[in-house]
A and B are shown apart, each in its own frame.
Chain A
Amino acid sequence: MSAALATLLAGAPPDREALDAFLAAHAVPLIAREAVTFLYRGEAEAVYLRMFISGLPAAQPLARAAGTDLWYLTLSLPEGSRFEYKFEVKRGGTSEWLLDPLNPLKASDPFGANSVCQGYGYVPPEWTLPDGGAREGAFDRLAIDSRHLGRRVVDLYLPARFRRTRRYPLLVLHDGGDYLRYAQLKTVLDNLIHRLEIPPLVVALTESPDRLREYVGLDAHADFVASELLPAVAARVPLEDDPAARGAMGASLGGVASLHAAWRHPAAFGRLLLQSGSFAFTDIGENHRGPVFEPVVRFMNAFRARPGRPAERIYLSCGIYESLIYENRSLVPLLQAARVQVRYEEARDGHNWQNWRDRLRAGLTFLFPGPLWMVYE
Chain B
Amino acid sequence: MGPMSDRALLGPQYRTPNLRECLAAMGLAGPLACVTAGWQDREGEIEELKAHVARPVHDLALYVRAERVHADDPALAAAGRERQARLQELQELYRLRLGALMGAVEELAPTADEAPARRSARRAALGDVRRLDRQHLAATAREHAAFARDWLRRPRPGLASQRAELARLIESSAAVLLAGGHVAVLLNRLRLFGLGPLLASRPLVAWSAGAMALTERVVLFHDRPPQGAAHAEVLEPGLGLLPGVVALPHAATRLALADAARVQAFARRFAPARCLALDHGSLARWQRGRLVAARDLRRLGRAGAVTEVAT
Chain A residues engaging chain B, CB cutoff 8 angstroms: 133, 161, 163, 165-166, 195, 197, 361-362, 365-366, 369, 371-377
B183–A377 CB distance below 8 A = no
Q: Does B15 contact A (CB under 8 A)?
A: yes
**Beyond A365-B227, A371-B182, is A377–B209 a contact (Cβ under 8 Å)?**
yes
The CA-CA distance from A369 to B222 in the complex, in Å, is: 14
A374–B183 CB distance below 8 A = yes
B residues near A133, Cβ cutoff 8 Å: 14-15
A377 touches which of B180, B184, B228 (Cβ 8 Å): B180
Q: Does B265 contact A (CB under 8 A)?
A: no
Q: Does B83 contact A (CB under 8 A)?
A: no
**Beyond A371-B182, A374-B220, A377-B12, is A362–B226 a contact (Cβ under 8 Å)?**
yes
Q: Does B282 contact A (CB under 8 A)?
A: no
B residues near A371, Cβ cutoff 8 Å: 182
Would you give 11 A-B contacts (Cβ < 8 Å), ordered by A?
Answer: A133-B15, A161-B42, A166-B41, A362-B226, A366-B227, A372-B222, A373-B220, A375-B183, A375-B209, A376-B250, A377-B12
A376–B15 CB distance below 8 A = no
**Beyond A161-B42, A165-B41, A371-B182, is A376–B227 a contact (Cβ under 8 Å)?**
no
A377–B181 CB distance below 8 A = yes
- Top 3 nearest A-B pairs by Cβ distance? A365-B226, A376-B209, A376-B208
Best-buried of B15, B181, B227 by chain A (most CB within 10 Å): B227
Least CB distance from A367 to B in Å reads: 10
Interface residues of B in 164-209 (CB under 8 A from A): 180-184, 208-209
Q: Does B212 contact A (CB under 8 A)?
A: yes
A197–B208 CB distance below 8 A = no
The CA-CA distance from A263 to B181 in the complex, in Å, is: 38
The CA-CA distance from A161 to B45 in the complex, in Å, is: 11
The CA-CA distance from A361 to B250 in the complex, in Å, is: 20
Best-buried of B183, B184, B226, B250 by chain A (most CB within 10 Å): B226
A residues near B181, Cβ cutoff 8 Å: 375-377
B15–A163 CB distance below 8 A = no
A residues near B212, Cβ cutoff 8 Å: 376
A375–B41 CB distance below 8 A = no
Cβ-closest chain A residue relative to B40:
A166
Cβ-closest chain B residue relative to A364:
B226
A residues near B184, Cβ cutoff 8 Å: 374
The CA-CA distance from A362 to B224 in the complex, in Å, is: 12
B residues near A362, Cβ cutoff 8 Å: 226
Least CB distance from B187 to A in Å reads: 11
A residues near B12, Cβ cutoff 8 Å: 377
Least CB distance from B13 to A in Å reads: 9
Known: A376-B249, A377-B209. 10 other contacts (CB 8 A): A133-B15, A161-B42, A197-B226, A361-B226, A369-B228, A373-B220, A376-B183, A377-B180, A377-B181, A377-B208
The CA-CA distance from A365 to B225 in the complex, in Å, is: 9
Interface residues of B in 150-172 (CB under 8 A from A): none
A369–B227 CB distance below 8 A = yes
Cβ-closest chain A residue relative to B210:
A376
A residues near B250, Cβ cutoff 8 Å: 376
A residues near B42, Cβ cutoff 8 Å: 161, 163
A373–B209 CB distance below 8 A = no
Cβ-closest chain A residue relative to B39:
A377
A375–B222 CB distance below 8 A = no
B182 touches which of A165, A365, A366, A375 (Cβ 8 Å): A375
B residues near A366, Cβ cutoff 8 Å: 227
A residues near B208, Cβ cutoff 8 Å: 376-377
The CA-CA distance from A353 to B61 in the complex, in Å, is: 46
The CA-CA distance from A377 to B212 in the complex, in Å, is: 11
Least CB distance from B119 to A in Å reads: 31
Least CB distance from A128 to B in Å reads: 13
Best-buried of A372, A373, A375 by chain B (most CB within 10 Å): A375
B residues near A197, Cβ cutoff 8 Å: 225-226
The CA-CA distance from A365 to B226 in the complex, in Å, is: 7
The CA-CA distance from A361 to B225 in the complex, in Å, is: 11
Least CB distance from B207 to A in Å reads: 9
Cβ-closest chain B residue relative to A133:
B15
Least CB distance from A47 to B in Å reads: 42
The CA-CA distance from A376 to B222 in the complex, in Å, is: 11
The CA-CA distance from A368 to B183 in the complex, in Å, is: 20
A residues near B228, Cβ cutoff 8 Å: 369
A374–B182 CB distance below 8 A = yes
Instruction: Fill in one digit per residue for B3-35: 1 if any A CB lies within 8 Å of its CB, else 0.
Output: 000000000101100000000000000000000
A residues near B15, Cβ cutoff 8 Å: 133
B residues near A373, Cβ cutoff 8 Å: 220, 222, 225
Cβ-closest chain B residue relative to A367:
B227
Least CB distance from B233 to A in Å reads: 8
B residues near A161, Cβ cutoff 8 Å: 42
B226–A376 CB distance below 8 A = no
Least CB distance from A317 to B in Å reads: 14
Least CB distance from B45 to A in Å reads: 9
Least CB distance from A193 to B in Å reads: 13
B residues near A377, Cβ cutoff 8 Å: 12, 14, 180-181, 208-209
The CA-CA distance from A375 to B225 in the complex, in Å, is: 13
Interface residues of B in 206-237 (CB under 8 A from A): 208-209, 212, 220, 222, 225-228
A376–B41 CB distance below 8 A = no
The CA-CA distance from A161 to B40 in the complex, in Å, is: 13
Interface residues of B in 88-125 (CB under 8 A from A): none
Least CB distance from A375 to B in Å reads: 5
A residues near B180, Cβ cutoff 8 Å: 375-377
A residues near B14, Cβ cutoff 8 Å: 133, 377
The CA-CA distance from A366 to B208 in the complex, in Å, is: 26
Least CB distance from B218 to A in Å reads: 10
The CA-CA distance from A362 to B227 in the complex, in Å, is: 8
The CA-CA distance from A376 to B253 in the complex, in Å, is: 12
Best-buried of A163, A166, A376 by chain B (most CB within 10 Å): A376
B residues near A165, Cβ cutoff 8 Å: 41
Interface residues of B in 37-96 (CB under 8 A from A): 38, 41-42
Best-buried of A362, A366, A374, A377 by chain B (most CB within 10 Å): A377
Cβ-closest chain A residue relative to B253:
A195
Cβ-closest chain A residue relative to B45:
A161
